[in-house]
Amino acid sequence: MKAASLASLHNLATLHKKMGAAVFCAVMLVLTNSPIVYGCACCAEPGTWFQETAKSDPEVLAIVGQLSHKLDKTALLYLTAAGLEEVKGISRASETYTLRRIPPYTRDWRLEFTDQQGNRGTLTFTIPNTALFFGTDPRDGQQRGAGGPLLYKEWRFEGPVSGTGIFKGGTTARTKFRFILQGRGNMCPAAEDFKSWVLQVEGQRANFAFSGVLNQPASSSGGSVISSHYRDD
């Protein structure tokens, strides 16, 4: 099945949030004169799969900004069976770090990682204007409240990254980051869908990744408060 346009889905999502799921689906049913099983525009269908690179519209950027305040304070370094010896780009690598986002809270992210011995460093990157949006039906029987399968979803952002402290030696001029938000939801974007994140750093002198969880937002409506900081300039 070919996925619907993400831009169109994002516009529908705005209406969905204002009305609520039940009212939204009822309105869509009247407008489209479709059977009730197809009445919810945000609902996925069995077998849904999509992967699309698209512009990060204001709603997406607002959600990302909201989630940046929900980063749990613990970040785990990705390790293989080889352990810390294979980590490239971090001086005195450790398994666990305390994570803190340093203000200002704009599209320019500055993340500080501190290990248990007090060794620290920052990674700085900018959330770009485009992202890769991925979703698939894992066929595990889980459904969203309004109907349709509960998709596994990823939003992936990539670009240049710089580092200080324990990352300084590994982040050369061409070092890149990939920031991935992971979660479950339907076809429309919502902050509460995302529960975890991965940050990968790759370059001539760097090859490492962190992961962590996102503390549950109170509601997706909070995105409007910070959306002005995430405008497409």
User: d(Cα 134, Cα 154) in Å, to the nearest integer?
Assistant: 5
Q: 3-state DSSP call for residue 201?
A: strand
How confident is the model over 141-186, as pLDDT tens digits? 999 777 899 999 999 999 999 999 999 999 999 999 999 999 999 9
User: d(Cα 157, Cα 199) in Å, to the nearest integer?
Assistant: 10
Burial of 126 (0-12, 13-18, 19+ CB in 10 A): middle
Percent of the chain with pLDDT over 90: 70
Segments of the chain scoring below 50 in pLDDT: 1-5, 7-38, 218-233
User: d(Cα 53, Cα 152) in Å, to the nearest integer?
Assistant: 17
Q: Within its chain, how far is the Cα of 16 from the centroid?
A: 20
What's the whole-model pTM score?
0.79
User: d(Cα 24, Cα 40) in Å, to the nearest integer?
Assistant: 7
